[in-house]
């Protein structure tokens, strides 16, 4: 458990958590391992889990045809690559909606910590201070991701660039 708590301490979404709070979160985690090229989540599917990368990288992909570009080939486009300590699936904690992108393991033995939404929400309700800190950190993380995506959209619209993330 000590190794897990030390890892969680370094993850962005658990910034300023106490050791006791990190241990409570650690008790909710399950580890999953994925092979390179294996889909973790599919765009348009439902899922109620938060994922934190402990090893490897994942690619975030979208199908341009699904976002109003029917003339685009049905090839997924990588819009971001996430690494150790980063998370994905945060929006499902808020709205339980369908996944907005496909997430694919990019490296051998990509390891993820997976936390079920219902268990995490129960922890947040039981310990409101922990819940506040988590939601604040998630909001900051999502804001950064939205700003990065906005920048890429602007570059594409203004310059027609196809810069890689």
Contact 85, 6 (CB under 8 A): no
pLDDT band at 74 (very low <50, low <70, confident <90, very high): low
CA distance 112 to 56: 9
Phi and psi at residue 100, to the nearest 5°: -90, -5
Q: What pLDDT does residue 73 have?
A: 61
Q: What pLDDT does residue 117 have?
A: 92
CA distance 55 to 138: 20
**Lowest-pLDDT choice from 12-26, 37-51, 111-125:** 37-51
pLDDT band at 67 (very low <50, low <70, confident <90, very high): low
Please report, for the chain, the start and end positions of each structural domain, with discontinuous segments joined by +. 29-159
- Judge whether residue 126 has pLDDT over 60: yes
Each residue's pLDDT tens digit, 80-98: 899 999 999 888 777 777 7
Q: What pLDDT does residue 1 have?
A: 81
CA distance 10 to 58: 18
Q: What pLDDT does residue 71 have?
A: 61
Superfamily of domain 29-159: Jelly Rolls (2.60.120.10)
CA distance 1 to 93: 24
Q: What pLDDT does residue 57 have?
A: 96
Q: What pLDDT does residue 77 have?
A: 84
Mean pLDDT for all residues in the chain: 87
- Judge whether residue 72 has pLDDT over 60: no
Q: What pLDDT does residue 152 have?
A: 76
- Judge whether residue 142 has pLDDT over 80: yes
Q: Is the dihedral of CA 92, 98, 100, 101 positive or negative?
A: positive
Q: What pLDDT does residue 63 have?
A: 80
* Length of the chain (residues): 165
32, with CB counted inside 10 A (0-12, 13-18, 19+), is: middle
């Amino acid at each position: 458990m000590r190794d897990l708590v030390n890892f969680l301490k370094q993850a962005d979404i658990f910034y300023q958590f106490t050791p006791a709070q990190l241990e409570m979160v650690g008790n909710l985690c399950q580890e999953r391992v994925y092979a390179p090229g294996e889909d973790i989540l599919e765009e348009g599917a439902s899922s109620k889990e938060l994922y934190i990368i402990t090893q490897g990288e994942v690619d975030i992909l979208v199908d341009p045809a699904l976002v109003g570009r029917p003339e685009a080939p049905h090839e997924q486009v990588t819009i971001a690559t996430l690494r150790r300590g980063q998370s994905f699936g945060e929006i499902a904690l808020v709205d339980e909606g369908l996944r907005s992108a496909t997430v694919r393991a990019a490296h051998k033995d990509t390891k993820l910590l997976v936390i079920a939404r219902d268990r995490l929400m129960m922890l947040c309700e039981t310990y409101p201070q922990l819940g506040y800190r988590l939601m604040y950190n998630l909001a900051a993380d999502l804001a950064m991701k939205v700003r990065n995506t906005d920048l890429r959209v602007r570059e594409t619209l203004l310059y027609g660039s196809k810069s890689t993330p």
